[in-house]
Amino acid sequence: MKRFLTALLAVALLLGLAACAGEVKEIRKTAAEEKSAPAVTVGKEGSVDGYVFRAGDFSIAVDADMAPVLAALGEARSYYESVSCAFNGLDKLYTYDHFQVTSYPAPDGDRVQTVWLMDDTVATPEGLRVGAPASQVDALYGSSFEAVGAERIYSKGGMKLKVIVQEDKVTSITYQSVIADEND
Amino acid sequence: MKKPQLDLRPGKWKPKKGKKVKKHRRLRLPVLLSGCVLLLAAAGLITFFAVKNSRVYTRVEVEAGDLTLVPEDFSKNGAPVSFDPSFSPDSVDFHTPGTYSVKLKSGVFHYTASLTVKDTVPPSGRAVAGMLSRGERSDPSALVADVKDETRVTVSFETEPDTASCGVRDVTVLLTDLGGNVTKLPATLTVIPLYTVLVREAGGQLTPADFILPDCSVAELFPVGDDGSPAQVDLAALTESAGDHPLRFSADGLICDCVLRVKDTTPPVMVLRDVTSAVGAEVEAALFVESVQDAGSVSFTVSFTAPLDQTGTQTVTIRGVDDSGNAAVGKATLTLVPDEEPPAILGAENIVSYVGKAVSYLSGVWAEDALDPKPSLTVDSGAVDLQKEGVYPVTYVATDAAGNRSEKQITLTLLTETVSEADVMAKAKEIVSSIITPDMTPRDKVEAIYRWMKKNVAYRDGATIVDWQQAAYQGLTTHRGDCSVFQMTSRALLTAAGIENRLIDTVPYYNVHYWNLVNIGEGWYHFDATSFYDKQDFCYVDSATLAERSVHYRRSHTFDPARFSYVS
Amino acid sequence: MKRVKTILRVLCALLLFIGTFLLLQSLLTPKYVDDVVEGAFVAEYYREKKDHDVIFIGDCEVYENFSPAVLWEEYGVNSYIRGSAEQYIFQSYYLLEDTFYYEKPSVVVFNVQSLQFGEAQSEAYNRMTLEGMRWSPAKVAAIRASMTEDEHFIEYVFPLLRYHDRWSDLKQTDFQYLFHKKTVSHNGYYMRLDAKAVPENLPPVKPLGDYSFSDRAWSYLDRIVEACKREGVQLLLIKAPSVFPHWYDEWDEQVKAYAEKQGVRYINFLEHTEEIGLDFATDTYDAGQHMNLSGAEKCARWIGRILAEDYGVPDRRGEEALSAAWAGKLASYRAEIEEQKERYGLS
């Protein structure tokens, strides 16, 4: 009898252990968790709704697939690559005659990260060149920008156009992907 | 002989030697064995289910939102969980409340879990004032803006407003999401006796009374400004220009916002002139237009009757089309003459610039030609390497439409911009003073600098800059660079803020990565402001946190603990 | 009598418990015979007859870059590679002391790459080196020197405490090699036949902020040197010809200065790649980090001449028993070459 009761007690204890089956888990996904989701959500055509650079007849949108860009632009004047700190793969820098294109490694192939205008022989499609007066920047892109020091950041279509104005002149124009930027 | 009676008093009776009570033992043993086997089996089953249930949550609830379903959401006690191949995570719509079946695997166990997507957060939005003409049906969605919710929201009126009479109405707009949550927004709707949009032909006559609805009467109607005070508006001038013109009126004291939509159906009136140009030159249509009159803007095209690569005279047709699509056509004469003189290049001088900076070649330089109004001017800077100091030849080439070409060569001298530590610290202090306040704790300061770096410095490939002042200055002024720039920029800002800091880099493997260490009196912690594509933050973290990343990201932060044994 | 029966019953129960415990422990401890075989290397040494003339010690840069089979075939050098994945310098030292319990080779060859770490990085790599060691004072010291913060000594004594949750990951090989072990290396050499060339344009190497090695790493190199001197064993320091991770000139200079000060020879194989005949298009299987068979045989051929001529390591091809043992090993070596040719589609 004692043994039977002891066995029954043991079974009851074990049942108790198994009783944790039905609890409900509530998930509260925070912004930090969501940052670990796949980074590239832009299609291979890139941020076409943003500011897009034109090299001749070819449009280069940031976040676009690099393969068609490289095919259209032909051999770069110089090429530099390094193992990326920000991405899982190589950072690549292609220097063409008057602009530079950098790429980042995305899961489905390299994408355009930045286009930097090296001199004033090329212009943005809106007509802005290096060396232009600050007033032309206002006229072409408006007054809705974020100012960081001498840099004006125009956000549009999931990308940023960064224009540095120093001593009333444009000294740098960069089309920038926001792929590695902090969420606003 | 009488058999002795059994004395059954305790202690008095003992079985005879050799006699064993085997019968009872024979009975007990099988029972015990069976009981043990049953117990073991029961324990085994219970253990099986206990183990199974200890790995996965079979009921999970989640608030609706922009989420991605991952198997780890169902994991209990860190057990490895994966989706069953037959299950597609895309079948779960996190923007539609409901219960979804999720098939999972963990080890040898299979599960069908239920995932409940719920929406318990009411929608948010902002009411905006609305205006409509008397008798029009109001659309409730026009009275709200910035509607946000994780599920679909329907907008409705609590009570349909009366638009049969003019005046200001207080209405309540309801935002209802799929979770049944309702937000009530009080809004204002103004019913006016005027047309909210009045369409008129360009150039026509117009008075304020034209805005009054046919079955309405207004005793006093005049234009007003934004402040409601009477304003002078030249309605006749507005009708000269096609497009939408916002207007504000006071109609018997009721402020009414209206739009005058001016249509243009009249073609432009052009005055043309004859043009002489060089053979082969580009001849634009606008060259033939002396003047044009139209309510809108006009674009021109030209049709030639002879090739442009031969001398001679031809009659050309100029077509002007305004932005409403109205077209006018005229004729002019084009005379083409030979051009043998090359264009002149003016204003070109030697340039001095700095490594890494964009160069302005064309500023103050232009080409002029006697016959070609727009000779091309290009720059051959193929020999220039903007990343290296040196003296480089640059050639300007001007070509006119006739193919006449001239060149002018200059030199571009690239110098390395020397940046002193004082320059760097001055810039850093300027930034620090804008992001740090006196009441901040050291931890707040570290966080503020980190957030500034993350927000304002963009990762961009480039050769590692060895000089710390240069790297820091680049980060502080151009806001871009690789991880060495991030490291040195952070160093400058932390130092400017009075935060003790040191530099650290990886033991090289696939890469060398650079970042910082900070000490605010609690020991040394890691500070890595580099923009990572997965947006992970490493502001004031310990080595274990970085080690976790290194495991998954190609030894990104692997360093020798023996050299940095003081780091937390 | 009753007491004897009780004692016997207790002993039986104890033996049953210990037996079950050991069986479970053996079952659940990883065998390292499937994908990750590197964890099996250290233990294989103990199954060898211990009369090697040359012992290589170090990480993957030794066990993938030198072929003991070629050293035997061409120089009669009987060698063994006591290598393991990411073997830290302190583990190398204790493995050396462990080796000296069993034999005194003529030469010890140590790869200096591991100077980069003065402390262990991960439990996984620790276990791949330490679990295979036989219990000895050297193993105890190696464990104590290696343990990361989250590790416990008792889990090395009783691995079941660490691997108890592997039960759901058990594979067929866990049962197959429960009682006996499979030999996965060739005298400690890990063979790969496939080839992946070093890219033509290697990304430029980034400079470091600080090129110093930790004091702890240097102290263990000192101990390696002292141990060899104490045992009368010649020490040869090397840097294997791996293109990455990059071996900085600043590091190389420090090691050269140290070797000169200690009177020990140091050879940086990266300075002799032409002499060795290495072709980084065909002699590496992972774009320059490790040699494949072709590269490992070339390196063995080159170092074999140095061992024979400069260190006087004897040619023992005349020894019958040893030659017979090597005949078996070479048969196994060639069999794996054929098997890998088929696996990688090579001719």
Residue C76 located in a structural domain: yes
Whether residue C274 contacts residue C265, with contact meaning beta carbons closer than 8 Å, is answered with no
**Dihedral, A63, A64, A69, A71 alpha carbons, nearest 10:** 130
Q: Is the CB of A14 less than 8 angstroms away from the CB of B46? A: yes
Report which residue type is found at A147: A
CB–CB contacts below 8 A, A to B: 195
Distance from CA of B513 to the nearest CA of A (A): 6
C213 Cα to chain B: minimum distance (Å): 7
Angle at A79 between CA A75 and CA A82, to 5 degrees: 145
Segment B391-415 mean pLDDT: 93
On whether residue C96 sits in a domain, the answer given is yes
The verdict on A79 touching C (C-beta cutoff 8 Å) is yes
Around Cβ B352, how many Cβ atoms within 10 Å?
11
The answer to whether residue C13 is domain-embedded is no
Taking CA–CA distances from A114, the nearest residue in chain B reads B460
Using one digit for the tens of pLDDT, what is the confidence trace for B523-546? 999 999 998 877 788 999 998 888
Separation between Cα atoms, residue A171 and residue A165, nearest integer Å? 6
- The answer to whether A86 contacts chain B (CB < 8 Å) is yes
For this complex, say whether ipTM is above 0.85: no
pLDDT at B241 over 90: no
Window from B86-90, B423-427, B538-542, C287-291 with minimum mean pLDDT = B86-90
User: Helices B483-496 and B442-456: crossing angle, nearest 10°?
Assistant: 140
List the structure tokens of C326: 């090597």
Confidence of residue A30 (pLDDT cuts 50, 70, 90): very low
Name the residue of chain B whose CA is nearest to C247's CA.
B508
Quickly tell me which residue has 């090597």 as its tokens.
C326
Residues B290-315: b if buried by 16+ CB within 10 A, e if exposed: eebebbbebebebeeeeebeeeeeee
Q: What pLDDT was estimated at residue A118?
A: 92
* Cβ–Cβ under 8 Å, residues A90 and B482: no
Q: How confident is the model at residue A34 (pLDDT cuts 50, 70, 90)?
A: very low
Average pLDDT over residues B17-32: 58
Residue of chain A whose Cα is closest to the Cα of B36: A7
- Residue C31 included in any domain: no
pLDDT band at residue B55 under the 50/70/90 scheme: confident
Angstroms from C32 CA to nearest CA on chain B: 20
Count of domains forming chain C: 1
Give the C-alpha separation, B529 to B489, whole Å.
Answer: 10
Output the domain CATH number for residue C113. Answer: 3.40.50.1110
Q: Using CA atoms, how far apart are residues B245 and B260, in angstroms rounded to an integer?
A: 5
Q: Is the dihedral of CA B260, B261, B267, B268 positive or negative?
A: positive
Residue C163 maps to a domain = no
Q: Which residues 6+ apart lie within 8 Å of C17 measured at CB?
A: none
Chain A residues with beta carbon closer than 8 angstroms to that of C201: 79, 81
Cβ density class B372-388: b for 16+ within 10 Å, e for less: bbebebbbbbeebebee
* C245/B562 CB distance under 8 A: no
Residue B43 has pLDDT above 70, yes or no: yes
Smallest CA–CA distance, residue A37 to chain B, in Å, is: 7
Contact between B50 and A17 using a beta-carbon 8 Å cutoff:
yes
Tell me whether A32 touches chain C (CB under 8 Å): no
pLDDT at B446 over 90: yes
Low-confidence ranges of chain C (pLDDT < 50): none
Q: Do C117 and B510 touch (CB under 8 A)?
A: no
Residues of B in contact with C59 (CB under 8 A): none
User: Is residue A38 over pLDDT 60?
Assistant: no
pTM: 0.65
User: Which chain A residue has its CA at the smallest distance from C204's CA?
Assistant: A82
The C-alpha of A73 sits at a distance from chain B's nearest C-alpha, in angstroms, of 15
Cross-chain residue pair A83–C203, CB shorter than 8 Å: yes
Higher pLDDT among residues B261 and B25, named by residue: B261
**Chain C residues with CB-CB distance to A81 below 8 A:** 201, 203
Q: What is the pLDDT of residue C292?
A: 95
Interchain pair B358, A118: CB under 8 A: yes
Give yes or no for residue A31 having a pLDDT over 50: no
The stretch B7-33 carries a mean pLDDT of 59
pLDDT tens digit sequence for C57-67: 999 999 999 99
CA of C206: which chain A residue's CA is closest?
A: A82
The residue among B509, B511, B510 whose CA lies nearest residue B484 is: B511
SS3 content of chain B, % helix, strand, coil (to 5): 20, 35, 45
Separation of first and last alpha carbons in chain A: 71
Which band of pLDDT confidence, cut at 50, 70 and 90, is reported for residue A17? very low
Q: B with C: how many residue pairs have Cβ under 8 Å apart?
A: 63
Pick from C116, C149, C209: CB nearest B560: C116
Q: Position C14: which residue type?
A: L
Q: B39 to chain A, minimum CA–CA distance in Å?
A: 7
Q: Among all residues of chain B, which has the CA nearest to that of C216? A: B562
Q: Are B278 and B338 in contact, with CB atoms under 8 Å apart? A: yes
Segment among A151-155, B550-554, C182-186 with least mean pLDDT: B550-554
Do B565 and C215 make contact, defined as CB atoms within 8 angstroms? no
A87 touches chain B (CB under 8 A): yes
Provide the 3-class DSSP secondary structure of residue B485.
Answer: helix
How far apart, in whole angstroms, are the C-alpha atoms of residue B322 and residue B300? 9
With beta carbons less than 8 A apart as the criterion, state whether A158 and A178 touch: yes
Indicate if the pLDDT at residue B86 is higher than 80: no
CA atoms within 13 A on the CB side of A164: 17
Nearest chain C residue to B548, by CA: C122
Q: How far is A121 from chain B (nearest CA, A)?
A: 7
- Residue C174 inside a domain? The answer is no
Q: Let me know if residue C22 belongs to a domain.
A: no
Q: Which residues of C touch B508 (CB under 8 A)?
A: 205-206, 208, 244-246, 248
Residues of chain B in contact with residue C116, where contact means CB-CB under 8 angstroms, are 507, 560
Element (H, E) at B548: helix B543-552
Instruction: Report pLDDT digits (tens) over B176-208.
Output: 999 999 999 999 999 999 999 999 888 778 899
- Residue B448: count of CB within 10 angstroms of its CB: 18
How close does chain A come to C112, measured CA to CA in Å? 25
Q: Is the pLDDT assigned to residue B453 strictly greater than 80?
A: yes
- Nearest CA-CA distance, residue C203 and chain A, Å: 5
C-alpha C164/C-alpha A62 separation (Å) is: 50
Contacts of B479 in chain A (CB under 8 A): 148-149, 151, 162
Whether C201 sits inside 8 A of A79 (CB atoms) is yes
Q: For chain B, which chains pass the contact test of at least 3 CB pairs under 8 Å? A: A, C
Q: Domain of residue C193: give its range.
A: 38-152+187-344
* Residues of chain A numbered 51-70 and touching chain B (CB < 8 Å): none
What residues pair up with B182 in beta bridges, in sequence order?
Answer: B176
Question: CA separation (Å) from C163 to B75, C156, C159, C166?
Answer: 20, 10, 6, 5
Q: What is the dihedral of CA C211, C216, C221, C223, to 10 degrees?
A: 160
pLDDT of residue B25: 52
Question: What CA–CA distance (Å, rounded) separates B138 from B314?
Answer: 61
Q: How many CA atoms lie within 13 A of B152 on its CB side?
A: 4
- The answer to whether B300 and B319 have CB atoms below 8 angstroms apart is yes
Residue C12 belongs to a domain: no
Whether chain C has a CB inside 8 Å of the CB on A86: the answer is no
Measured between beta carbons, the chain C residues lying within 8 angstroms of A90 are: 203
Tell me the pLDDT of chain A averaged across its residues.
Answer: 80
Nearest to C204 among B463, B503, B561 (CB): B463
Between A172 and C18, name the one with better pLDDT.
Answer: A172
Would you state the pLDDT for residue B186? 94
Does residue B498 register a pLDDT over 60? yes
pLDDT of residue A37: 33
Candidates C118, C169, C245; nearest CB to B508: C245
Chain A nearest CA to C188, separation (Å): 33
Q: Round to the nearest angstrom and report the end-to-end CA distance of chain C.
A: 74
Percent pLDDT > 90 in chain B is 49
Residue C241 to residue C279: CA distance in whole angstroms: 11
Tell me B567's DSSP state. B
Chain C residues near any Cβ of chain A (below 8 Å): 201, 203-204, 206
Upper half-sphere CA count for residue B126 (Cβ side, 13 Å): 3
Strand order in the sheet with B182-192: B130-133, B182-192, B167-177, B153-157
